[in-house]
Chain A
C-alpha cells in the first residue's frame, strides 16, 4: 500500500498569508495525487486533481504542484473561508489512501 504523509498536521495562519502544505508518498505515483478540503460538518470537496489541475469552480488562489513522491498544495492568499482541513489522496493504486490531514487554523 502507498502511505501518504502530510505536513504539517496543523498550522496557524492569518488572512492574506501564503500557506503551503506538503504531501509525501511512500512510493512513486507519477501525478496521481488529489487534494480535498473539508470544513466542519461538511463532506470533503475536490480542489486539485492530477497534482496540479484546478477543479472547476475552485478559486485560483489554490494551486498544486509536484510529481513522483513529493507534492504541494499552496493557497496564495488565505481567505476566511479557507480555514478547514486539507487532505491529499493518491489515485495511483488501490487502496486509495489519504494523508492524515492538515488543519488550517486562525
Chain B
C-alpha cells in the first residue's frame, strides 16, 4: 500500500537548521512529484513548493525561497526538506504529499513532522 512516512518531531533553537525526511513506499517513487505543505499551529495549509522526482528540480512558492531546500535520494525513495536559519515563525507541522501530474490533487500525504523553534 502507498505510504509516505515522515521523520519525527524536532526541537531546535533559533538560527539552527533542520532536515526532514519523507520516505515513500508502495509505488514507483519517480512517477510522482513530492510537494511540501506547511501548517502553523492552529492555522490552515500553505503550499511551499514541489520537487520533480525524475529530474530533482525543485520549485519554491513565494516566501519559501532562500532558507528552504528540497532534495531527493531516489536510491531510498526519500525526499528531504531542509530549513536553515530557523526562526520562531517556522514552528509548524510540515507535510509531504505526492502528486501524479500538474492539475491533479495530492492523493497521499505523509503524517507530518512537527518542528518547534524555541530558545
Contact = CB atoms under 8 A, between A and B. Distances in A.
Interface of A: 1, 32, 34, 36, 38, 42-46, 49-50, 55, 87, 89, 91-92, 94-101
B70 interface: no
Nearest to A95: B61
B41 interface: no
Interface of B: 35, 37, 44-47, 49, 59, 61-62, 95, 97, 102-112
B112 to A, nearest CB: 5
A47 to B, nearest CB: 9
A45 B83 CA distance: 25
A100 B95 contact: no
A92 B104 CA distance: 9
A71 B46 CA distance: 20
Contacts of B108: 46
A36 B107 CA distance: 10
Contacts of A92: 103
